[in-house]
Amino acid sequence: FPSRLPNVGTTIFTVMSALAAEHQAVNLGQGFPDFHCDPQLIDAVTRAMQAGHNQYPPMAGVPALRQAVASKIEALHARQYCPNAEITITAGATQAILTAILACVQPGDEVIVLEPCYDSYVPNIALAGGVVVRVPLTPGSFRPDFAKIAAAITPRTRLLIINTPHNPSATVWTADDMRTLEELLAPTDVLLISDEVYEHMVFDGAEHQSAARFAGLAERAFIVSSFGKTFHVTGWKVGTVAAPAAMTAEFRKVHQFNVFTVNTPMQYGLADYLQNPAPYLQLPAFYQAKRDLFRQGLEGSRLKLLPSTGSYFQCVDISAVSDLNEADFCQWLTREIGVAAIPLSAFYGDGFDQRVVRFCFAKKDETLRAAIERLRTL
């Protein structure tokens, strides 16, 4: 029957994880930790289940969790969100982004994405009947090109999607970047999705610049995050959206008929666990150590390391190692060398190939060492 998504296959993350499993490769492809979360978080969820929190929660999320999220945003970014009217708990960031798009994009509306971008954005826009407008990040540096973004805005532009820290390039937007965007959008009605799922993974003293910090962005933004990333539980699929009340009201209209609610005991457990800020405040140092271990291990190899200032990804230029295109290289690397990676071309609509692949370093040190040993044979 006629496809709603004729150009979409199986996501690259599923494909590469399956190939890694088939070849017993070290899986540095799909972004997920291979270590356990904090046992205290498991205890908190277990207690919630034992206390009987096993039925539908309120549609927008458990109040204690919404309050904890609002308090965290206020402490980190000095902006108040009303837990009742402006914070919603979602089934991961993936659902948050789709729901936000469905809530605000009408057929024919233009939506700007900055490529490379996370692979769900473009199909999500297509499902809403939106017109995808692709603006490249600057090749090489992956920095936003504000002149190009400005040139892409038309009277039909409804929404812009940004992502910092950035998957896949591991770059981080500065406060100046956010201020420039704020000025650029000021005379427009363009809404913003700010995908901040890697908000707690910034390195070398850099600070995460949430859209919440900038009044002119916050007033038009769905700010999306994910406990999966922050607390090493990607399989739990619990995320959050912070947005002004009028935007949240529209968001919840879709949310209630999309998932309706998100699993209850995880929400209680997370609300409890969030009372202590130490786990997320320690995350930059935790991941910076892993990034450094991985980078040091590859120094002097023929893989050229690109900067990694945020997220849990490390990109490398493969041109000194292979003549294969990125996608074929990742297949070959998995089968022959035993390490899985993700080609950056998977994050571009036209499959743009710049000889760069992405590794995920959210892994045990021993996993990273095993990968390094194999990669050094290249």
| Interface residues toward ligand GLN, by CB under 6 A | 11, 13, 30-31, 167
Q: Distances from the Cα of 295 to the Cαs of 71, 291, 359, 375, in angstroms? A: 35, 6, 11, 12
Nearest distance from residue 310's CB to ligand PMP, in Å? 11
Q: Does 163 bind ligand PMP (CB under 6 A)?
A: yes
Q: Does 167 bind ligand PMP (CB under 6 A)?
A: yes
Q: Does 115 bind ligand PMP (CB under 6 A)?
A: no
Q: Which residue is nearest to ligand GLN (CB)?
A: 31
> For 161-309, where are the alpha helices, taking DSSP H only?
175-185, 215-218, 227-230, 245-256, 264-273, 278-281, 283-298
CB nearer ligand GLN, residue 31 or residue 338: 31
130, interface contact from ligand PMP, ligand GLN, none, CB < 5-8 Å by kind = none
Q: Strand order of the sheet with strand 313-317?
A: 304-305, 313-317, 356-360, 342-343
CB nearer ligand PMP, residue 197 or residue 247: 197
Q: Does 11 bind ligand PMP (CB under 6 A)?
A: no
User: Which tokens hold the place of 202?
Assistant: 């910034």
Please say whether the beta carbons of 157 and 112 come within 8 A.
yes
Please say whether the beta carbons of 170 and 308 come within 8 A.
yes
CB nearer ligand PMP, residue 98 or residue 339: 98
Could you give the CA distance from residue 9 to residue 162 in angstroms, rounded to a whole number?
A: 24
Please say whether the beta carbons of 195 and 161 come within 8 A.
yes
Nearest distance from residue 11's CB to ligand GLN, in Å? 6
70, interface contact from ligand GLN, ligand PMP, none, CB < 5-8 Å by kind = none
Q: Which of residues 237-266 bind ligand PMP (CB under 6 A)?
A: 237, 239
Q: Distances from the Cα of 33 to the Cαs of 38, 145, 324, in angstroms? A: 12, 32, 28
90, interface contact from ligand PMP, ligand GLN, none, CB < 5-8 Å by kind = none
Nearest distance from residue 315's CB to ligand GLN, in Å? 12
Q: Does 234 bind ligand PMP (CB under 6 A)?
A: yes
Could you give the CA distance from residue 216 to residue 7 in angstroms, rounded to a whole number?
A: 36
CB nearer ligand GLN, residue 44 or residue 333: 333
11, interface contact from ligand GLN, ligand PMP, none, CB < 5-8 Å by kind = ligand GLN
Q: Does 310 bind ligand PMP (CB under 6 A)?
A: no
Which residues make beta-bridge pairs with 225?
240
Q: Does 27 bind ligand PMP (CB under 6 A)?
A: no
User: Which tokens hold the place of 257?
Assistant: 């008929």
Could you give the CA distance from residue 212 to residue 191 in angstroms, rounded to a whole number?
A: 14
Site size with ligand PMP, rule: CB under 6 A: 14
CB nearer ligand GLN, residue 181 or residue 341: 341
DSSP 112-163: EEEES--TTHHHHHHHTTPEEEEEEPPTTT----HHHHHHH--TTEEEEEEE
Which residue in 48, 66, 115, 118 binds ligand PMP (CB under 6 A)?
118
CB nearer ligand PMP, residue 68 or residue 321: 68
Could you give the CA distance from residue 15 to residue 30 in angstroms, rounded to a whole number?
A: 9
Which residues make beta-bridge pairs with 239?
90, 226
CB nearer ligand GLN, residue 31 or residue 343: 31
195, interface contact from ligand GLN, ligand PMP, none, CB < 5-8 Å by kind = ligand PMP
Q: Distances from the Cα of 288 to the Cαs of 77, 239, 291, 292, 314, in angstroms? A: 22, 23, 5, 6, 11
Residues of this chain that interact with ligand PMP (CB under 6 A) are 31, 92-94, 118, 163, 167, 195, 197, 226, 228, 234, 237, 239
